[in-house]
């Protein structure tokens, strides 16, 4: 460890809670963050301009303080968590009272639960005519978020970010939750914290917003952050003022870095420049090594080795209909024994998206797509982050594979070989048959191979590629970047925008 001074119990004092706001798009996360910021009494006195540095602190009339992370949404939250940073103490889940629980609300709940962070529900837009707070509370029940009124322990507060009502109540709820968590830090030790935001700025060089978690950060301190190091040249607070020091819970912009770290990187003060260089060199070397190692290792092996004596196999499930998702969860949960079990982090209906991949990465989880596929961004992200996505269409096959994983057989056999994707750009009718005018967007497509037709990333048909043409000629295969015409055995319900997934069974692959 870089830290030589231990936290002395006697030196621990209360620190402000750090809050992240999450919820469905347009439910008012940004508006609520702006409204909460306006309640800051310290900001009023200074009359200063508000600086958007990625986090800000509100001082209430009572003197109590709350720190808000100013980048709403679970992407940032989980991205930081996947780098090992524990930043957020409390999640405020924003649900619009006129729109109630929506897909990203459910995603946010899954992200907060996976991180083990307590939630407070802010029922927003209560000023709107169609507002129905009770409906929100009832719907949350279905996702195991039980508000106090319904006998649970989750606080719910009705607010209007627009009319700025309920804000004090929300802040009091946050402080109450914070008391339960008993958040403490020792301000007298050397500082450490987490990078919330970092960028290269013209004329200033690399700048990072650091949330101090322990100790006191001062101008002149030498630090390491991620693979970079530096000396604090200036500290700037969320009102744009230069400050001499920052205590736990305080976000500050730091000048004087030698490079740009990433959000979620640690930030640790060390005794001297030699030590800083040594640690920074070591980390840069290690990054190169792990990058090389990761390329050799499968995602699945990583999952098991990193958790050591694995007790749970974390899984994210996406399916085409609610019924099959529920059936899958039921089946998988029965597979466990005293030593290992399946833990479903998140489940839902629809294609696999970036949020699913981010969540799986942070929790080292496997993603199961049941009659659904990942969208392009999610596919790219999963490749980059080494997240394992597996597709199925038969519940028995999922159960069989998971059973093998649980019993230590690390790589269940691959049942089919993925060949490629093509996108339907146009549909023609020739002598009563529908022909799809396609562009091969990835890999290769082959005549006679298995195909699945995807509409909005959901499988709507499985069959065989019966004809494949380039211009007028019948061809055996077409590669990425080329156009072709396709038709499918006994199937005609195709439209432009559909995606064709092409695969072959392993037996076929062996024969070839
Ligand atoms: P975000 O996508 O969750 O960050 O949502 P925004 O904060 O951008 O808000 C989405 C829309 O809802 C905007 O048009 C806001 O003006 C509106 N809005 C946000 N909060 C309220 C509220 O309390 N009442 C009403 N009536 N509208 C709101």
ipTM of the complex: 0.99
Distance CA 244, CA 179 (A): 29
Q: Give the residue whose CA is nearest to atom 25 of ligand 1.
A: 125
What is the value of pTM for the model shown?
A: 0.70
Query: How close is the Cα of 96 to the center of ligand 1, in Å?
Result: 8
Query: How close is the Cα of 30 to the center of ligand 1, in Å?
Result: 7
Q: Give the residue whose CA is nearest to atom 24 of ligand 1.
A: 125
What's the pLDDT score for residue 49? 65
**Which among 28, 107, 123, 158 is the best mutation to test ligand 1's pocket, defined by most ligand atoms within 8 Å of the CB?**
28
Per-residue pLDDT of the chain (512 residues; tens, 9 = 90+): 444 445 566 788 999 999 999 999 899 999 999 999 999 887 654 455 677 888 999 999 999 999 999 876 666 777 777 766 788 999 999 999 999 999 889 989 998 998 899 999 999 999 999 999 999 999 999 999 999 999 999 999 999 999 999 999 999 999 999 999 999 999 999 999 999 988 888 888 899 999 999 999 999 999 999 889 999 999 999 998 999 999 999 999 999 999 888 888 899 999 999 999 999 998 888 877 776 665 555 445 545 444 445 467 889 999 988 888 988 998 888 887 766 788 898 999 999 999 999 999 888 889 999 999 999 899 999 988 889 999 998 888 888 888 888 776 444 455 678 899 999 999 988 887 889 999 999 999 999 898 999 998 898 888 889 889 998 899 999 999 999 999 888 888 899 999 999 998 764 333 32
Distance CA 248, CA 187 (A): 6
Alpha carbon 368 to its chain centroid, in Å, reads 16
**In whole angstroms, how far apart are CA 45 and each of 42, 247, 393?**
5, 20, 62
Residues with CB under 6 A from ligand 1: 23, 25-31, 72, 124-125, 127-128, 160-162
Query: How close is the Cα of 26 to the center of ligand 1, in Å?
Result: 6
Query: Which 3 state secondary structure label does DSSP give 506?
Result: helix
Query: How close is the Cα of 162 to the center of ligand 1, in Å?
Result: 7
What is the residue whose two structure tokens read 């009563």?
A: 432
**Which among 24, 31, 35, 160 is the best mutation to test ligand 1's pocket, defined by most ligand atoms within 8 Å of the CB?**
31
Query: How close is the Cα of 27 to the center of ligand 1, in Å?
Result: 6
What is the residue whose two structure tokens read 């990078």?
A: 195
Nearest atom in ligand 1 to the alpha carbon of residue 24 is: 3
Cα-trace Rg, the chain = 26
Considering only CA atoms, which of 162, 167, 110, 166 is closest in space to residue 140? 110
What's the pLDDT score for residue 292? 64
Considering only CA atoms, which of 255, 238, 222 is closest in space to residue 53? 238
Contact 208, 261 (CB under 8 A): yes
What's the pLDDT score for residue 207? 93
Written as six digits, the tokens of 222 are 């030498």
Query: How close is the Cα of 125 to the center of ligand 1, in Å?
Result: 7
Distance CA 346, CA 12 (A): 36
What's the pLDDT score for residue 413? 53
What's the pLDDT score for residue 511? 32
Query: How close is the Cα of 31 to the center of ligand 1, in Å?
Result: 6
Q: At what angle are helices 395-406 and 322-333 packed, to 10 degrees?
A: 30
Written as six digits, the tokens of 91 are 């999640």
């Amino acid at each position: 460890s870089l830290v030589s001074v231990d936290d002395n119990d006697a030196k621990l004092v209360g620190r402000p809670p750090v809050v992240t706001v999450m919820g469905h798009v347009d439910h008012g996360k940004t508006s609520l963050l702006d409204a909460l910021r306006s309640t800051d009494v310290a900001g009023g006195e200074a009359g200063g301009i508000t600086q958007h540095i990625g986090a800000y602190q509100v001082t209430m009339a009572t003197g109590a303080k709350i720190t808000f992370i100013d980048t709403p949404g679970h992407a940032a939250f989980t991205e930081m968590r996947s780098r090992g940073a524990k930043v957020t103490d409390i999640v405020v889940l924003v649900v619009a009272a006129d729109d109630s629980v929506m897909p990203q609300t459910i995603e946010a709940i899954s992200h907060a639960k996976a991180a083990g962070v307590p939630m407070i529900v802010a029922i927003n837009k209560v000023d709107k005519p169609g507002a129905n707070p009770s409906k929100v509370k009832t719907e949350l029940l279905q996702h195991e978020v039980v508000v106090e009124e319904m006998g649970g322990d989750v606080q719910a507060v009705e607010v209007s970010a627009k009319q700025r009502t309920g804000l004090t109540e929300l802040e009091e709820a946050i402080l109450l939750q914070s008391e339960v968590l008993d958040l403490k830090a020792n301000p007298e030790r050397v500082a450490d914290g987490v990078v919330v935001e970092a960028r290269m700025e013209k004329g200033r060089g690399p700048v990072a917003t650091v949330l101090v978690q322990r100790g006191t950060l001062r101008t002149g301190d030498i630090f390491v952050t991620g693979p970079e190091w530096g000396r604090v040249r200036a500290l700037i607070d969320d009102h744009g003022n230069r400050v001499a020091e920052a205590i736990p819970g305080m976000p500050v912009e730091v000048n004087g870095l030698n490079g740009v770290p990433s959000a979620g990187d640690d930030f640790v003060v060390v005794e001297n420049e030699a030590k800083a260089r040594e640690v920074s060199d070591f980390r840069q070397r290690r990054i190169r090594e792990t990058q090389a190692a990761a390329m050799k290792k499968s995602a699945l092996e990583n999952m098991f080795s990193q958790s050591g004596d694995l007790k749970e196999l974390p899984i994210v499930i996406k399916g085409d209909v609610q019924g099959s998702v529920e059936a899958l969860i039921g089946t998988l949960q029965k597979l466990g024994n005293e030593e290992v079990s399946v833990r479903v982090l998140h489940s839902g209906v629809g294609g696999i998206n970036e949020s699913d991949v981010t969540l799986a990465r942070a929790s080292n989880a496997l993603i199961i797509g049941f009659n659904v596929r990942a969208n392009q961004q999610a596919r790219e992200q999963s490749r980059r982050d080494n997240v394992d996505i597996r597709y199925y269409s038969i519940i028995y096959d999922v159960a069989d594979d998971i059973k093998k994983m649980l019993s230590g057989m690390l790589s269940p056999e691959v049942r089919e070989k993925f060949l490629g994707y093509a996108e339907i750009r146009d549909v023609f009718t020739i002598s009563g048959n529908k022909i799809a005018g396609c562009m091969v967007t990835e890999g290769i497509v082959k005549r006679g191979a298995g195909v699945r037709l995807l509409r909005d990333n959901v499988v709507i048909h499985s069959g065989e590629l019966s004809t494949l043409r380039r211009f007028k000629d019948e061809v055996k295969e077409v590669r990425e970047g080329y156009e072709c015409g396709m038709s499918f055995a006994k199937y005609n319900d195709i439209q432009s925008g559909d995606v064709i997934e092409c695969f072959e069974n392993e037996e076929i692959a062996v024969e070839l």
